[in-house]
Amino acid sequence: MADLRLAGIGMTSARTRDRLVQRLREQGIQSLEVLERIRNVPRHIFVDEALASRAYEDTALPIGFGQTISQPYIVARMTATLLESGPLHNVLEIGTGCGYQSAVLAPLVGKLYSMERIEPLLRRAKAHLRELGIRNVRFRHGDGSRGWKTHAPYDGILVAAAPLTVPDALLEQLKVGGRLLVPVGPEGRQELMRYTRRELRVERESLGPVAFVPLLSGVG
């Protein structure tokens, strides 16, 4: 029964996932390993049953608590961009949400540390990844804007919510050569930014407009 749930039927079937992967190819996602993760991760288990038939649409969907599961294109693009610099051994994810981005990214890196400020979402994400047999993720309920200093420095940091300005703590927790991917700005005027830490400076590059929920401080 569990295998059938993960495999999906009808609008959650392998054929539907293949169509999503083809759309992502047409939008410029070239990384074969990322496309395979999008194909193989059962996105429908990360959303409410009532929305399962829409799980493989290329759109964000509500997951409760004012949060969304990110659009597959954005998940694929951020994952591929983070991996461009080569193998990543130690990665921090801010904004676990329902765990979909974690499930796509985790098998492609050595160790993933994931933070979420909303505890019920974190519990749900843990259950999803446990069901998928993904075991290289450590979770923490906490304020993502402060990062997770215990395991720093990181090869890469991926932020799935938008601060108005980049938290200094995240830049400080990057190792030299490490990359931070983060949407920055107010609603309606957000840009996906890539920061690369060098010995004496931090390089900054805009990757274009995006739309994310805001990065909030504190915990819930």
Residue 145 to residue 189: CA distance in whole angstroms: 20
Residue 132 to residues 8, 49, 126, 135, 162: CA-CA distances in angstroms?
14, 18, 10, 9, 28
SS3 state at 98: coil
The torsion angles phi and psi of 212, rounded to 5 degrees, stand at: -130, 160
**Is-catalytic flag, 102?**
no
Choosing from 70, 102, 114, 145, the catalytic residue is 70
Residue 40 to residues 13, 23, 33, 80, 161: CA-CA distances in angstroms?
11, 15, 10, 16, 24
Catalytic (active-site) positions: 70
